[in-house]
Amino acid sequence: MPVNQFDPAGFYSPYHVFAAEEWAQFRADTPLTLTQDEVHRLSSLHEPVDLDEVRRIYLSLSRLLSTHVETTQRLFRQRQAFFAEDIVKSPFIIGMAGSVSAGKSTTARILKELLGRWPSSPKVDLVTTDGFLLPNAILNAEGLMQRKGFPESYDVGALLRFLSGIKSGQRHVRAPVYSHMTYDVIPGEYVTVDQPDILIFEGLNVLQPRDLPRDGKIVPFLSDFFDFSIYIDADEDLLREWYIARFMRLRETAFRSPESYFHRYSTFSETEALQTAIALWENINLKNLHENILPTRPRADLILRKGAGHLVTEVALRRL
C-alpha cells in the first residue's frame, strides 16, 4: 500500500512530519556558531541558504544528530565492556541523498561546520560519491556517458571498500577526487580520511539497495554502513527550475573556462543553452530521479522537503 510520507493523515506512515516553524522550536538552546559570512561561503550560488534558515532548520538538526551520536557512543562503550576488550571505535556515518540540484552539497557543508563546532569538538569529514564515478574513458567505452550519475556508472566495489574501511576504524582511508571542471575523476589524486568521529557521505544514490541474493549470502548496501540518513526533497518542477537556472549561470561563469568539459556550451545562444539544459534535465537527470533516486526517499531517517528559494517547508523524521 503506497504511503505519502508527508500526508499528516497517513495512518501507516512511519514518519512524524513537522512544519518548518514547528521544527525550528526543537533547537532549544543550541548555540548558533556560524556567522553570516561563513554561511555565505558555505552556501552555493545555486543553493542559497542564509543565517535565518540555519537557525530555523539546521540548529534543530544539529541538536538531533548530537543525541544520536552520543547514544551511539554510549552503546559502543557498553559493547566494549560486554566483550571486556578494546574495540576500535567506529565513526558515526551520515548518508545524504537527493536529486541533482536539490541542494545536497550546501546542506552537507553547513552540517559539517555545525557538527564540528559542538563543545566536544568532534572531527568531522565530508566525502561525496563523485570521486567514485567510473572514469570517462570507461563510461565512453561501455556506452554509459548518458547515464553518468546512474548506479551503474559508479565503482561500487570501491565505494563499499571505502565505507567498510571507515566503519572498521582503519587509518588513512583514501577516496578518489573528482573535478567538476573536467567532468572526470582526477587520475592518482585522493583525499585521505583518518578516523573521523563523524563522516558525512553525500551522493545521489547512496540510499539505493541492490538485488537480493537467492542463496542468502550477504550483499552489502552502502546504507548498511550508515548510522543516520537524510534525503533532500523537492517537487519536480522546482528541481527542474533550479537545474536549468544553475546551468544558465554556469554558462556565464565556469563554462567559459577553456579547461571546462562544458566549454562548448558557453558559446551557445541563450535559446540554444536553454534548450540544452531542458534536454539534459529530461533525458538524464529526471530519468535518474524517477528510476533510482526518488524511490530511495522512504529509506531515509529524515527528509528535508524544500519549497521555493531552497527554503525547507517540512521535515519528516522516522519514528522510533
Q: 241-294, pLDDT tens digit by residue?
A: 999 999 999 999 999 999 999 999 999 999 999 999 999 999 999 999 999 999
Tell whether 46 is covered by a domain. yes
The answer to the question of residue 306 being in a domain is: yes
Q: What predicted TM-score, i.e. pTM, was given to this entire model? A: 0.95
Half-sphere exposure (CA, 13 Å, Cβ side) for 178? Answer: 17
Q: Return all residues near 109 (Cβ < 8 A) that are at least 6 apart.
A: 42, 43, 126
**What is the band of 123 on the pLDDT scale with cuts at 50, 70, 90?**
very high
According to the model, what pLDDT value does residue 3 have? 56
Query: For 108-119, what is the mean pLDDT?
Result: 96
- Residue 227 sits in which domain range? 15-318
The answer as to whether 78 is a domain residue is yes
What confidence score (pLDDT) does residue 89 get?
83
The enclosing domain of 313 has a CATH number of 3.40.50.300
Q: Residue 5: what pLDDT?
A: 65
Counted domains in the chain: 1
Other C-beta atoms within 10 Å of 298: how many?
17
Q: Is the pLDDT of residue 105 over 80?
A: yes
- What pLDDT, in 10s, does the model give residues 143-157? 999 999 999 999 999
Instruction: Give the separation between CA 38 and CA 90, rounded to whole angstroms.
Output: 30
**5 in any annotated domain:** no
Percent of the chain with pLDDT over 70: 96
| Residue 8, pLDDT above cutoff 60 | no
Whether the per-residue pLDDT at 1 is higher than 60: the answer is no
User: Given this model, what pLDDT does residue 273 score?
Assistant: 95
Residue 8, domain member (yes or no): no
Q: Convert the chain into a string of H (helix), E (strand) and C (coil).
A: CCCCCCCCCCCCCCEEEEEHHHHHHHHCCCCCCCCHHHHHHHCECCECCCHHHHHHHHHHHHHHHHHHHHHHHHHHHHHHHHHCCCCCCCCEEEEEEECCCCCHHHHHHHHHHHHHCCCCCCCEEEEEHHHHECCHHHHHHCCCHHHECEHHHECHHHHHHHHHHHHCCCCCEEEEEEECCCCEEEEEEEEEECCCCEEEEECCCCCCCCCCCCCCCCCCCHHHHCCEEEEEEECHHHHHHHHHHHHHHHHHCHHHCCCCCCHHHHHCCHHHHHHHHHHHHHHHHHHHHHHHHHHHHHHCCEEEEECHHHCEEEEEEECC
